[in-house]
């Protein structure tokens, strides 16, 4: 019985411990291919190493080198005599039996799922090269979904001798990802650099701004009732719509200590783990899309109201995560998930109810309308649509998914409509907005 192990060589897509592959898993892969012959359902072309259009030549060449190590010098024409671009799963299992490769355990599990998922008992050569090259696509997600549920190794919870940081990474994997193969993939490929700087930086900036205005106004609760508060260049006010930066910078201002504490807690508890798993670009895009949608929605539905607070972005993150948990309920392994789901919904609903109360029944006399609550709802809609698409596409290219382009088209249409509304509708409708401070 051969072994697939990580020798610590470069180009393998991650460093992991020596991995012993159980014979039963590969025997099962080979047995599933027995008696299943016929043309594959889709054409999978072999890559051409000399083709100038081949993307990522360095990455592709590393994958090709490791794939050639897998075939052990055998002729690719011998493995695929009909030049279909597929390798039989029984042949594939035999190659892994007889060779050692620098593969981390997560990739080995992916190879098993990939081999088990094909109805004709064949492995696409290009998909094999892509996986060795650390290039994942939606085909690997389908392979996991359609493959055998019993993976060749126990779960990450059985990993012994982990340090404090590695245990935290394992905790994040179980909190965010619904599939054991994805959790293993993330665990073995995670690097501490770069750290999740976006959510930490946004939270720190919000705290600093709040402390500065609290000291300046000598008011820490319900700051919006202070006459000088709305004069801040960061607050969105309908009278200052031409100052476009306010549609985003309002996220640094907060009604008071209670709203800041709620948003900061959720950003750190949910936003930081999401950024660790899905990366800075995707999570920052989701957060800022929720913030922008929040202010634009207020400018359309509550034309006289200002907006403060990062609730649009926070609700985008939270609603996306909660929707992902609900849709993958059976696969999520986070403890007490039902109780935590109920508590999260109660807290989010309470914050919305508090915002509605402050908007329509202000407890103190004010010089103008209080901040709107519509940013919360807009952020939740962005999270359920755009956010859910992002979270369900772990390590997959978004541009290859039709749903992503549908979401972008819908969001772009909304932005275009909101811009025209802010430019023309206020004058056409004769909206009576409070004078800008």
Dist. CA 156–CA 170, nearest whole Å: 7
97 is catalytic: no
311 is catalytic: yes
Tell me the HSE value of 8 on the side-chain side, using a 13 A CA sphere.
1
List the catalytic residue out of 134, 139, 311, 385.
311
List the catalytic residue out of 134, 254, 376, 385.
376
Q: CA 399 → CA 163, 275, 284, 408, distances in Å?
A: 37, 19, 17, 10
Catalytic site residues? Answer: 311, 376
């Amino acid at each position: 019985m051969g072994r697939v192990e990580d020798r610590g060589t470069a180009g393998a897509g991650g460093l992991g411990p020596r991995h012993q592959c159980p014979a039963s898993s590969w025997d099962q892969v080979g047995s599933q291919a027995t008696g299943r012959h016929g043309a594959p359902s889709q054409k999978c072309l072999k890559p051409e190493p000399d083709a100038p259009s081949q993307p990522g030549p360095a990455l592709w060449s590393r994958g090709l080198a490791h794939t050639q190590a897998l075939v052990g010098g055998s002729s690719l024409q011998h493995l695929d005599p009909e030049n279909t671009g597929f390798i039989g799963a029984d042949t594939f299992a035999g190659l892994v039996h007889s060779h050692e490769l620098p593969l981390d355990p997560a990739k080995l599990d992916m190879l098993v799922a990939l081999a088990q998922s094909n109805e004709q008992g064949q492995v696409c050569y290009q998909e094999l090269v892509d996986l060795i090259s650390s290039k994942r696509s939606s085909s690997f997600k389908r392979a996991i979904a359609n493959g055998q549920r019993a993976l060749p190794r126990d779960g990450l919870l059985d990993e012994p001798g982990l340090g404090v940081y590695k245990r935290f990474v394992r905790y994040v994997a179980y909190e965010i990802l619904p599939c054991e193969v994805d959790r293993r993939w993330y665990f073995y490929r995670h690097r501490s650099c770069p750290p999740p700087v976006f959510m930490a930086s946004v939270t720190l900036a919000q705290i600093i701004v709040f402390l500065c205005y609290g000291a300046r106004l000598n008011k820490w609760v319900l700051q919006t009732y202070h006459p000088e508060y709305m004069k801040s260049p960061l607050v969105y006010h309908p009278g200052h719509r031409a100052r476009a930066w306010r549609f985003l910078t309002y996220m640094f201002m907060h009604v008071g200590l209670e709203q800041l504490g709620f948003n900061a807690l959720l950003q750190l508890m949910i936003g930081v783990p999401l950024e660790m798993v899905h990366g800075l670009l995707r999570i920052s895009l989701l957060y800022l899309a929720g913030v922008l949608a929040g202010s634009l929605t207020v400018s359309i539905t509550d034309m006289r109201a200002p907006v403060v607070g990062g609730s649009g972005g926070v609700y985008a993150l939270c609603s996306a995560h909660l929707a992902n948990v609900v849709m993958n309920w059976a696969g999520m392994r986070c403890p007490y998930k039902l109780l935590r789901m109920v508590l999260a919904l109660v807290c989010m609903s309470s914050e919305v109810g508090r915002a509605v109360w402050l908007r329509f029944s202000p407890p103190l006399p004010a010089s103008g309308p209080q901040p709107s609550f519509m940013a919360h709802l807009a952020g939740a809609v962005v999270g359920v649509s755009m956010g859910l698409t992002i979270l369900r596409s772990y390590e997959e290219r978004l541009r290859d998914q039709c749903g992503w382009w549908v979401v972008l088209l819908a969001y772009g249409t909304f932005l275009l409509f909101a811009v025209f509304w802010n430019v023309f509708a206020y004058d056409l409708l004769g909206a009576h907005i409070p004078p800008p401070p």
